[in-house]
Amino acid sequence: MRGPHNIWRLVRTGATLERTGAMTLVLDAFDAPPSLRLAARALGWPFKWLGYKGDESQPPATRALSALGPAYIKFGQVLSTRPDVVGDELAAQLSVLQDKLPPFSREVAIATIKKELEIDVDDVFSSFSEPVAAASIAQVHRATLRQTGGDVAVKVLRPGIERAFRKDVDAFYLAARLIDMLHPAARRLRPLEVIKHFEGVVLGELDLRMETSSSAEFAANTERDEGFRVPRSEWFLSSRRVMTLDWAEGIPANDIPAIEAAGHDRKALGERVLTLFLRHALRDGFFHADMHQGNLKIARNGDVIALDFGIMGRLDEYTRRVYAEILFGFIRKDYRRVAEVHFEAGYVPADRDVDEFARALRAVGEPIFGMDATHISMGRLLNYLFEVTERFGMETRTELILLQRTMVVVEGVSRSLHPQINIWSVAQPIVEDYIKENIGPKALIRDMTRTARVLSRFGPKLPHLAEAALMRESEPRNAKLPPLWPLLALSGWAGAVSAALIILVASSF
């Protein structure tokens, strides 16, 4: 959807920022250079009268993004948890963005269901309510299945929302390219990669089949987690624009008076929310990445019920180990090890001084750990950590954006339930258990076993691979092919060690 409309959308964006008074705040937050300020003003000031007025009762940034629509609201929510990028003042304003819009009619929802599922709604549901919740992308109705009598939640996408999001995301790409061109120093933040990541998240939310799949996978991973529940998916009543789940009855996690009146242990609930998030992120590498109070309910028996699986985070095994080691190092105040992990993972350029980096990390950790335990904040630690790593040349890790965002949100939920929660004492056993299972001799044996298993699949091809490698080795040196003897030797060594480990493990049973 490249075209002139992108420029027009940026002009409208600049005009709205000017009209709402948010332009200066945004430019200061990003420490924009004169060239970028000039370009932004050129897009905004002359066309100020074209900008949306917004709700004058809101702070400038919140007012502007709310007026600009769903994609801007979503993007603002992502940036709200990155004060290291946008500054504390702007992050504070963005944190109050509400993902709520006026509902569309029940009749439109029914027509969408009928078209998507190719069913007569009255034949499937004995009742179908007016909207019970309306967000920027979709809204939810409560319905009763005619065949079983069970209550379900039916989520339906807004009409035309896919096209509206694609137009705005396309304009975001243009803005990122302009920033790259006019402010080279901002490349460390990888604006294009951030937008690409954001696009992937949003496109996932716009296909409810993906959300249905995510809910099913999340339910399978967590079915044995005590005190936690994920509503069951109704696959045959779900499609690209419709999703159906079992209805979850419970108290919203932000209704503290009702939670107290029901007799729930707020301390246990606060600790459980944090524990569950860390376990899902580290154990499964698949976690709920929009775990705010509006997406959590407390069941009558005290179980935490998760809702809305449009934004899920996924971490590969190596990243999980790095994240666990960094947290574990801070818990033990082993700043040297935290520094080494950053270098080993390639997060900090190899030409920097590891001892100097460890000293900077100590300056991050000690003031926080010197506070009263109930005021220690993992979110504050992450913010300070990014300030330090920026000085040492660490680039934005887009795969960690959702993890960072969710960690701050989950901490806020836990503190709202139990203000005196000691974040580190709750996190320590989860992290230690993961370290024991995944870093050390036990993990090495498991890794080598997997390596041997992979190598064994290439058994029939090994003679051909070896012959091809020898032929390449015999070619003239100017063929620009690297020598493969070291690679063959390494592969052979790895295979031999893996085989030996498998024999040792097998003989122990």
Residues 19, 24, 27, CA angle at the centre, nearest 5°? 125
**DSSP string over 309-365:** -SSEEE--HHHHHHHHHHHHHHHTT-HHHHHHHHHHTTSS-TTS-HHHHHHHHHHHH
Catalytic entry in 99, 170, 225, 290: 290
- Angle at the Cα of 382 (from 377 to 383), degrees rounded to 5? 95
Query: The tokens of 105 are what?
Result: 């009619």
Residue 404 half-sphere exposure toward CB, CA atoms < 13 A? 22
Q: Using CA atoms, how far apart are residues 308 and 137, in angstroms rounded to an integer?
A: 12
CB 16 within 8 A of CB 51: yes
* Helix/strand/coil for 145: strand
Both tokens of 21, joined, read 């008074």
Question: Residue 96 has what DSSP assignment?
Answer: T
Clarify whether 246 is annotated catalytic.
Answer: no
Q: What are phi and psi of 125, to 5 degrees?
A: -115, 130
Strand stretches in 180-252, DSSP E? 228-229, 242-246, 251-252
Tokens of 280: 């899902």
Closest CA to 276 of 329, 233, 222: 222
Contact between 146 and 237 (Cβ < 8 Å): no
Burial class (CB in 10 A: 0-12, 13-18, 19+), 457: exposed
Residues tagged active-site: 290
